[in-house]
Amino acid sequence: MMVSFFDQFASPSYLGIPNIAVAIALPWVLYPTPPARWINNRLITIQGWFINRFTNQLMLPLNVGGHKWALLLASLMIFLITINMLGLLPYTFTPTTQLSLNMGFAVPLWLATVIIGMRNQPTIALGHLLPEGTPIPLIPVLIIIETISLLIRPLALGVRLTANLTAGHLLIQLIATAVFVLLPMMPTVAILTAAVLFLLTLLEVAVAMIQAYVFVLLLSLYLQENV
Amino acid sequence: MADKPVALAQKKLMDVKLGQLPSWLGTRDFTPNGLLGSVRGGYERYYNKYINVKKGGIGGVAMFLAGYIALSYLWEYDHISGGSTTETHRTTRPLKSFVCSSVILTPLSVCDCCDQE
């Protein structure tokens, strides 16, 4: 049986217990609830600082109606960034490489923003389908294009996160395999490849954080249009 | 010098003599609530010893993550080693996959160059 590079993305399970269950529950353990103290320990302080700063940044462009989403967007961001970063540890499984999980996040949240817009301010929501200053002959075509663009948003959100993480993991595995294969034959080339691997790992750390942020940022933008 | 007489059920695991282990296990609570309580108790002990301290460092989180890596390795061993006990590279593959990089989950084609198909 041909073993392929994509075997790492098969959802693993042990004795019938799916690893993904532990991998998804792990972020909850890593962020303890701050006790009701004036000054907390270092980890809780850092955690609180990061969450507050991020939520402040995210809520800046939103009006008061959008602030209702603060808890959801902040917790989603923490969840995604933790899962992505944990996936870079050896032997761990990254749930966000599964398209099902990412679509499970993207579709309901996007749909919620659209329904909120259509329900509360239908004229404005539909008005987004036609940018200002469009030449008149282009109007029908542009409305169709904007509608397609609207409908493709959840797909783009989910697939973007999946593809970025999957591609990163795959690249790391490919280059690491190359290092191992080259080591006995051409050590110098193997060392150069190992340097590339190191840089790639740094890139993957950045990508893990950025992709989580982009996911949540785009959701907040969609919300901003509609709320 | 004699220890204070303590009931078996109230002893901690490290204080139980080896011969008393089965009877000590019999006194423990293995109901779902009991298991949940012991997990929560374990979490609280770890948290209060390593995380909830004035000058906590990276050590507390690092130990936990190292344990998570070890657990993931144990869970994925079957998958990583190809699942067959007759594989010649069975024991070297998992080690290679760790040393190789931080994200390898299968060592797969490490030996492709010498395989003949």
| CA atoms of A177 and B101, how far apart (whole Å) | 9
| CA atoms of A215 and A182, how far apart (whole Å) | 38
pTM (2 d.p.): 0.82
Q: Which two structure tokens, joined as six digits, stand for A201?
A: 């790992």
Write down the pLDDT at residue B94: 52
Determine which helix (DSSP H) or strand (DSSP E) holds A220, and give its type and residue range. Answer: helix A187-226
Where is pLDDT greater, at B20 or B3? B20
| CA atoms of B24 and B54, how far apart (whole Å) | 36
Over residues A200-213, the pLDDT tens digits come to: 999 999 999 999 99
Write down the pLDDT at residue B91: 41
- Please tell me if residue A24 touches chain B, with a CB cutoff of 8 Å: no
SS3 A18: strand
The total of other beta-carbon atoms located within 10 Å of residue A78's CB is 21
SS3 A168: helix
Q: What is the residue extent of each domain of chain A?
A: 19-115+155-226
Which residues in B lie closer than 8 A to residue A169 (C-beta atoms)? Answer: 103, 105
Write down the pLDDT at residue B87: 42
The Cα-based distances of B93 to B26, B66, B88 in angstroms read 41, 20, 9
Domain count across chain B: 1
Over residues B25-56, the pLDDT tens digits come to: 888 888 989 889 988 998 888 888 888 888 87
Q: Which of A102, A97, A111 lies closest to A76, judged by CA?
A: A102
| CA atoms of A181 and B113, how far apart (whole Å) | 8
Which residues in A lie closer than 8 A to residue B74 (C-beta atoms)? Answer: 14
Q: Which two structure tokens, joined as six digits, stand for A146?
A: 């904007």
Distance from CA of A77 to the nearest CA of B (A): 20
Which residues in A lie closer than 8 A to residue B57 (C-beta atoms)? Answer: 42
Facing residue for A180 by CB, picked from B53, B55, B100: B100
Distance from CA of B59 to the nearest CA of A (A): 11
| CA atoms of B113 and B31, how far apart (whole Å) | 53
Q: How many CA atoms are closer than 13 Å to the CA of A73, on its beta-carbon side?
A: 28
Q: Which of A102, A98, A96, A72 lies closest to A84, judged by CA?
A: A96
| CA atoms of A70 and A55, how far apart (whole Å) | 7
Crossing angle for the helix pair A139-151 and A153-185, to the nearest 10 degrees: 60
Write down the pLDDT at residue A35: 86
Distance from CA of A124 to the nearest CA of B (A): 46
Tell me which residue range forms the domain holding B38: 8-75
Which stretches of chain A drop beneath a pLDDT of 70?
1-3
CB contact under 8 A, A92 and B72: yes
Indicate the pLDDT class of residue B3, thresholds 50, 70 and 90.
low
Distance from CA of A197 to the nearest CA of B (A): 8
Contact B87, B81 (CB under 8 A): yes
The total of other beta-carbon atoms located within 10 Å of residue A83's CB is 23
Facing residue for A92 by CB, picked from B55, B61, B68: B68
Residue B81 in domain: no
The total of other beta-carbon atoms located within 10 Å of residue B85's CB is 7
Buried b (16+ CB within 10 A) or exposed e, A166-201: bebbbbbbebbbbbbbbeeeeeeebeebbeebeebb
The Cα-based distances of B85 to A12, A100, A148 in angstroms read 19, 33, 53
Residue B34 in domain: yes
* ipTM for the complex shown: 0.85
Cα A1 to chain centroid, rounded: 34
Over residues B55-105, the pLDDT tens digits come to: 878 888 999 999 999 988 888 887 777 654 444 444 445 544 554 444 444
CB contact under 8 A, B108 and A5: yes
